[in-house]
Amino acid sequence: MLSEAAAADLKLIVFQLKDKEYAIPVNQVRSIEKVEHITRVPRTVGFVKGVINLRGVVTPIISLRSRFNLEEAEYNEHSRVIIAVLNDMEVGLIVDSANDVIDVAPESIEPPPEVIGSEDADFIKGVTKIEKRLFILIDLKKVLNPVELAAQDEKGLAG
């Protein structure tokens, strides 16, 4: 029974935004890239920074800082683009750094705390603690949903 529980641990990619650590499941991550030239796309929502050509695939790029209403920061040598996949949609997420993979027991994940007036709380799937570190699990479906809608709106405008 114990080995079954250990085998069921979730593998999470940890990334930083401002002074907080966030995580998404490894199975939703295709790759982690350095920030390269992003081509701006007109008439997209503010947090959509544009698109990149990644190995022949045009990939939309969003700033998670903008998405979570955090102030923007200059990109540096630690900035990364996490190429995340949800259903058949591939999206790049700009983060301050991505440098850790952790294993978490599903039962150690607590529901998101109720924070009044916190908009980014909608994107939180849960939180988990490892030693003195607190990790916020991101719900990619909720984070990326408006990107899908913006892409559909853009197609509608072009047609």
> Is the pLDDT score of 49 beyond 90?
yes
CATH number of domain containing 9? 2.40.50.180
- For residue 137, being part of any structural domain is answered with yes
- For residue 157, being part of any structural domain is answered with no
- For residue 156, being part of any structural domain is answered with no
- For residue 52, being part of any structural domain is answered with yes
Task: Look at residue 89 in the predicted model and tell me its pLDDT.
Answer: 85
- For residue 128, being part of any structural domain is answered with yes
According to DSSP, the residues that pair with 20 across neighbouring strands are 17
> Whole-prediction pTM value?
0.83
What is 72-132 written as a DSSP string? P----TT-EEEEEEETTEEEEEEESEEEEEEEE-GGGPBPPP--TT-GGGGGEEEEEEETT
- In which element (H, E) is residue 80 found? strand 80-86
Structurally, the chain folds into a number of domains equal to 1
Tell me: the pLDDT tens digits for 55-112?
A: 899 999 999 999 988 999 999 999 999 999 988 889 999 999 998 999 999 999 998 8
> Is the pLDDT score of 158 beyond 60?
no
Task: Look at residue 159 in the predicted model and tell me its pLDDT.
Answer: 37
- Its domain, for residue 135, covers 2-150
